[in-house]
Each structure stands twice: as structure tokens, then as C-alpha cells.
């Protein structure tokens, strides 16, 4: 689970940074964080989809901001969080559709290799990834509403998006614990 948190950290940092800092500064901060996450993953020989997507997305967003007319940055700022959220939603559901749910590589860290190719392992990762995708969809809706509203910004930009991600994280932890209990041998099972 630690690697999953690391992979999401640049994206999670961008959500509040894009509201508290000028958008170009928030993008630079997120890019630096994403580059550090990718470097960490590469050193450990565990670079995953989200680790690679982070620097690519924030570099592209930074380039788009550099090209955009400065008068349009207000609109960009209102919807920047939504844009990053939508990209993550697309990556998550794309990974499921491609038959390689994004949670699979993270789950392999705590699952014996002999279980990696079982139907149970694949189905569990598909389910867990779908829950993450659902959490991002709810966050997408909330952030879209926040971009078009002037009130309830804390609720729409912080509580709903982070709350749904927290629920997805807890679901992942519960599924991981459940899988660990069901795959433990009788000698390793708790008394």
C-alpha cells in the first residue's frame, strides 16, 4: 500500500496546491513530486503506470499553460483539479479495459507469486481498481460542480474528492486483509 500512496502523492499534492498557489507554481510542484516518485520507483525497479503518467501529465499541463494566453489562466485554474482527476479516471478504467488493472502491480508486493495468475487475484484487482475508478468519477463530478460554483468549495474540492479516495483506500486495505486471511496456510492462521 505504501507504493500506491507514493504513486498517487503528486496528484494528491496538486489538488490543494492548485487552489493555494498560482497554477504554474502548483504544476511545477506537482511535476517535481512526480519526477521524484518516478525516480524512486525506477531505483527500486518498480515503475508503474501512475509513476510514469505523473511527470508526463504535469509536463504536458505546464507546456499547455506556457502556450496558453495569460488571460485564460483563470479558467484553467478553476478546472485544473478536474483535469488531473479526469486523467486518473481514464488511466484507471483504461487499465481495467486493457485487462491489467492498475492495482495489480501494487498487489504483487504483498501476494505470493503463485497467486498472481489466479482468477481470484485478477478478479480482486479488477474489483479494487473499479472501486478506485468509481471514487474518481465521484470526485470528477464534485470538481466539475466546484468549477462552476462559487460556494461550497471546501466540500466540492476537498471533502468529496479526498473522502471518496479515502474510502477507496480503506476498501483496498480491507480486501488485502481479507485475501491475506483466505490465502494463509493453517499453520500461519491466527489462533
Q: Which residue carries 492495482 as its cell?
A: 103
Q: pTM of the full predicted structure?
A: 0.85
Domain contains 150: yes
pLDDT of residue 127: 95
* Tens digit of each residue's pLDDT, the chain (191 residues): 688 899 999 998 998 898 889 999 999 999 999 999 999 999 999 899 999 999 999 999 999 888 876 666 777 888 888 999 999 999 999 999 999 999 999 988 888 888 888 898 899 999 999 999 999 999 999 999 998 888 888 899 889 999 999 999 999 999 888 776 665 544 444 43
pLDDT of residue 53: 96
pLDDT of residue 190: 43
Q: What is the DSSP letter of 102?
A: T
Domain contains 189: no
What is the number of domains present in the chain?
A: 1
Rounded to 10 degrees, the C-alpha dihedral 116/122/128/130 comes to 150
pLDDT of residue 130: 97
pLDDT of residue 180: 66
Domain residues for the domain of 65 are 2-182
Residue 147: closest CA among 78, 85, 87, 76? 78
Domain contains 168: yes
pLDDT of residue 70: 66
Between CA 19 and CA 71, with CA 149 as vertex, the angle to 5 degrees is 60
Compute CA distances 139 → 37, 135, 159, 160, whole Å. 23, 6, 9, 6
Domain contains 187: no
Domain contains 191: no
Phi, psi angle pair for 80, to nearest 5°: -65, -40
pLDDT of residue 189: 41
Cell numbers placing 170 = 480503506
Amino acid at each position: 500500500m505504501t507504493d500506491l500512496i507514493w504513486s498517487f502523492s503528486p496528484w494528491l499534492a496538486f489538488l490543494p496546491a492548485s487552489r493555494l498557489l498560482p497554477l504554474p507554481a502548483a504544476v511545477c510542484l506537482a511535476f517535481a513530486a512526480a519526477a521524484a516518485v518516478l525516480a524512486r520507483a525506477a531505483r527500486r525497479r518498480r515503475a508503474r503506470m501512475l509513476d510514469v503518467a505523473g511527470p508526463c501529465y504535469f509536463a504536458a499541463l505546464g507546456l499547455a499553460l506556457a502556450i496558453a494566453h495569460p488571460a485564460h489562466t483563470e479558467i484553467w485554474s478553476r478546472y485544473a483539479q478536474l483535469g488531473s482527476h479526469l486523467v486518473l479516471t481514464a488511466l484507471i478504467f483504461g487499465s481495467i479495459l486493457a485487462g491489467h488493472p492498475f492495482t495489480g502491480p501494487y498487489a504483487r508486493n504483498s501476494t505470493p507469486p503463485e497467486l498472481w495468475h489466479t482468477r481470484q487475484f485478477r478478479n480482486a484487482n479488477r474489483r479494487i481498481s473499479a472501486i478506485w475508478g468509481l471514487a474518481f468519477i465521484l470526485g470528477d463530478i464534485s470538481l466539475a460542480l466546484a468549477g462552476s460554483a462559487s460556494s461550497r468549495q471546501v466540500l466540492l474540492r476537498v471533502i468529496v474528492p479526498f473522502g471518496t479516495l479515502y474510502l477507496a483506500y480503506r476498501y483496498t486495505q480491507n480486501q488485502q486483509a481479507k485475501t491475506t486471511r483466505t490465502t494463509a496456510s493453517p499453520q500461519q492462521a491466527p489462533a
